């Protein structure tokens, strides 16, 4: 038996291609390594270690312990693991550097590149058990059923890009919308989550009024904690299908949430009844294609589908009559067709240099 390229090796009496076996072995253990490094990133985020490292320059475990009050031996092991993962720089395993580019990803939540917050939620075993049951029953878990941390994790994923793009880039690109917001518009955010978008808009446009809808009690509680006292914002713990058909809403937002809904078609119909004849509906949803070959060009496609099973598809399958779109399900073709079925006649696709999402400007 040899393990050279093209050679055949025997495992428990089965003849296998050695090179192919090696690739699958490395890939599988690589994902296990990713799981464990993810836990370490969670701890670094949770304990504020990345923020402490930011700007310190080269540091030892002793120096970091002095700064953070954390135990030196635990920090030493954590630092070495981070260096092994390529997230810190170390030539000797004793001194470590968080480079500015790494800090932009791991330590600075006000920057669009920030990603450490997405590791804030480690799914408890009961959620994993419920996901396993979903494969048997077909019925998924609502966002609230995914644990209190799900709302925080979703906000951590979506917040940085919203803060970077919404006010300086997206709103000005929507024909006539900013003028209405300045003058005083009626705005509804369907699937408002923890209220990041509502807060940004309400502060910028104090003459406008804002109402958020979200069926997640965890998300609404987080939004109320964050936005309490802001006079032009109201957050309601209900889904978008409950929008009243007032026909007077100037701007409707659905920011990265339609693919999570069991019945996005029902919500779209409710939005059509609520929006004014000259109103605008802004859809933000995952950058995807109806073509598998096109989607395969996404280097994070495995992450997208895993996230779908663990979260998005689970929510989208949480009712017996669900459409079950999932993370990749609302591609531009599907979005245009569904908005047309809901009674909208104008559909414009925008690409705002968001690597994960596309944006659609929809009008009656």
pLDDT tens per residue across span 128-161: 888 889 888 999 999 888 877 788 778 887 888 8
Is 3.40.50.150 the CATH number for 125-363?
Answer: yes
H-run or E-run covering 276: strand 275-286
Which tops the pLDDT comparison, 153 or 71? 71
pLDDT for position 148: 76
∠ CA 53-59-65, nearest 5°, is: 75
How far is 67 from 236, CA to CA, in rounded Å? 42
pLDDT, mean over the chain: 92
Strands 357-363 and 346-350: antiparallel
Domain positions in the chain: 8-110, 125-363
Q: Considering all CA atoms of the chain, what is the largest pairwise distance in Å, rounded to the nearest integer?
A: 78
> Torsion over CA of 309, 313, 317 and 321, rounded to 10 degrees?
-140
User: Has residue 181 got a pLDDT over 90?
Assistant: yes
pLDDT at 1: 37
Percent of the chain with pLDDT over 70: 98
Q: Which CATH fold would you assign to the domain 8-110?
A: Arc Repressor Mutant, subunit A (1.10.10)
Average pLDDT of 198-205? 96
**pTM of the prediction?**
0.83
Q: Residue 62 pLDDT more than 50?
A: yes
Distance between alpha carbon 144 and the CA centroid of its chain, in Å?
Answer: 16
């Amino acid at each position: 038996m040899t393990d050279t390229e093209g050679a055949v090796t025997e495992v428990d009496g089965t003849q296998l291609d050695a090179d192919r076996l090696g690739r699958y072995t490395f890939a599988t253990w690589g994902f296990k390594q990713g799981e464990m490094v993810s836990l370490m990133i969670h701890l670094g985020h949770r304990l504020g270690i990345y923020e402490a490292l930011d700007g310190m320059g080269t540091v030892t475990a002793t120096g970091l312990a002095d700064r953070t009050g954390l135990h030196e031996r635990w920090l030493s092991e954590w630092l070495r693991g981070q260096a092994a993962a390529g997230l810190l720089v170390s030539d000797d395993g004793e001194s470590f550097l968080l480079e500015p580019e790494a800090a932009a990803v791991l330590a600075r939540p006000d920057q669009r590149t920030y990603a450490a917050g997405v590791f804030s939620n480690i799914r408890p075993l009961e959620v994993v058990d419920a996901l396993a049951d979903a494969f048997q029953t077909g019925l998924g878990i609502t966002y609230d059923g995914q644990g209190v941390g799900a709302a925080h994790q979703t906000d951590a994923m979506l917040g940085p890009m919203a803060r970077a793009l919404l006010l300086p880039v997206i709103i000005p690109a929507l024909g006539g919308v900013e003028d209405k917001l300045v003058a005083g518009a009626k705005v509804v955010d369907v699937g408002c989550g923890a209220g990041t978008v509502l807060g940004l808009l309400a502060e910028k446009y104090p003459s406008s009024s804002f109402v958020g809808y979200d069926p997640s009690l965890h998300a609404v509680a987080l939004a109320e904690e964050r936005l309490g006292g802001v006079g032009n914002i109201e957050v309601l713990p209900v889904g978008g299908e409950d929008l009243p058909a007032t026909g007077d809403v100037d701007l409707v937002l659905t920011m990265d949430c339609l693919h999570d809904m069991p019945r996005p078609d029902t919500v779209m119909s409710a939005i059509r009844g609520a929006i004014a004849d000259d109103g605008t509906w802004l859809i933000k949803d995952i950058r995807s294609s109806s073509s598998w070959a096109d989607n395969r060009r996404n280097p994070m496609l495995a992450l997208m589908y895993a996230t779908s099973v663990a979260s998005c598809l689970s929510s989208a399958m949480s009712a017996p009559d669900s459409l079950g779109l999932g993370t990749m399900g609302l591609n531009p073709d599907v979005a245009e067709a569904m908005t047309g079925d809901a009674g909208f006649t104008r559909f414009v696709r925008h690409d705002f240099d968001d690597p994960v999402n596309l944006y659609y400007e929809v009008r009656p």
